[in-house]
A = this chain, B = another copy of it.
C-alpha cells in the first residue's frame, strides 16, 4: 500500500489485493480465484483462518466469496438470471444442511436513500413461506419439503431509536430460525466493482460498521445461529478514487515525497463525499431483483 490513507472497503478480496500488489505473504489467509470465461464472472474465495490473518485483512475470521460480474450493471434479464443462479449455489453451500430449516432474512439500510436501499428492496421481492407452512404445511406450496422463510426490514436506528441488533435479536429469539441472512449495501475501493459485485460471507455484517463497533455486529456470536452476510458495493469513497489515481501515477516519484503528498491530497471534505453513477436508482432496483431471485432459488430444495 502506498501512503497511509485508510482505505475503507467492505470487500475482503480488496483487502487481499493490497498485499498482493506489494507481494507481501499473508499467513493465515487462503485466497483462491476462479474465472468463468463464458459468463465473464470472476469468483474469489477468501478464507481467513487465524487471528493474525484477521488483523492483516481487517475482517473477522471466516469465509468470503466474491462474485464479480461486470455485466450486472446492464439490464440483461438472461444474464441476471444466471448470476442469481450463481448466488443461489454459493448461498446453499453456506446455509445449514438441515431438513426443513427456517431462515430469517434481514434487509438492512434506509429505503429512502437509494444507495442504501438494497436490503429493503431485496426483502420486497422475497417469497416468504413461513406463515404458510406453519398454517398449512409444505404441501400448500406444492412442495414436499420447503424452507420456512421469513423476512424483516428493521429500519435504521435514527428512525427506530433502537439498535438493529436489538430488533433482530428479539425477533430471532421469538421465532427461532436455523439461520439468518443479512442483506446490506457495501462500500468498495474500486470503481470497477460498483454495482456489479456480490459478496457472501459466513461472518455476518456490522451495520453502519467501521472499525471497532463490534457490539452491534450481526453474527453467530451475537445471534447464536449462523449468520450469512450478502452485500453489493453501491458506493465508492471519493478519497479512495483520488488516492488510487494519483498513487498509480506517482509511482515514478521518490517514495519519500509521496506519503506527504497523499496525506494532503485526501482532504477532509472529500472523505464524506461518495462517488456513484447517475443510474444508481435503476441499478439498485435491478440488482435487488437479481439478489432476491437468487435467494428465492437458494431457498428451494430443487432449485
**In the complex, chain A residues 186-219 whose Cβ is within 8 Å of any chain B Cβ:** 191-192
Q: Is the CB of A159 within 8 A of B151?
A: yes
1/0 contact string of A110-141 vs chain B (CB within 8 Å):
00111110000001100011111000000000
Which residue of chain B has its CB nearest to the CB of A172? Answer: B170
Q: Does A149 contact B (CB under 8 A)?
A: yes
The 8 Å CB contact of A275, one of B131, B160, B275, is B275
Contact of A192 among B115, B169, B242, B269 (CB under 8 A): B269
State whether B278 touches A274 (Cβ < 8 A): yes
Cβ of A13 within 8 Å of any chain B Cβ, yes or no, is no
Closest beta carbon of chain B to A292's beta carbon, Å: 12
Q: Which of A27-35, A38-46, A52-60, A259-267 lies on the face that meets chain B?
A: A259-267
Q: Cβ of A242 and Cβ of B246 under 8 Å apart? A: yes
Is A173 positioned at the interface, with any CB of B under 8 Å from its CB?
yes
**Contact A277-B278, Cβ < 8 Å, known A173-B174, A175-B166, A267-B245:** no
CB of A86 closer than 8 Å to a CB of B:
no
Q: Please, how many angstroms separate the alpha-carbon atoms of A195 and B272 in the complex?
A: 14
Q: In chain B, what residue has the closest Cβ to A250? A: B261
A64 to B170, CA, bound (A): 30
CA distance A1 to B275 in the complex (A): 24
A74 CB-CB contact with B under 8 Å = no
Per the bound structure, the CA–CA distance linking A174 and B160 in Å amounts to: 14
CA of A210 to CA of B129, assembled, Å: 23
**Which residues in B have their C-beta under 8 angstroms from that of A113?**
278-282
Instruction: Kindly state whether residue A286 has any CB partner on chain B within 8 Å.
Output: no
User: A: which residues have CB within 8 A of B?
Assistant: 112-116, 123-124, 128-132, 148-155, 157-163, 166-167, 169-175, 191-192, 235, 238, 241-242, 245-246, 249, 261, 264-265, 267, 269-270, 272-282
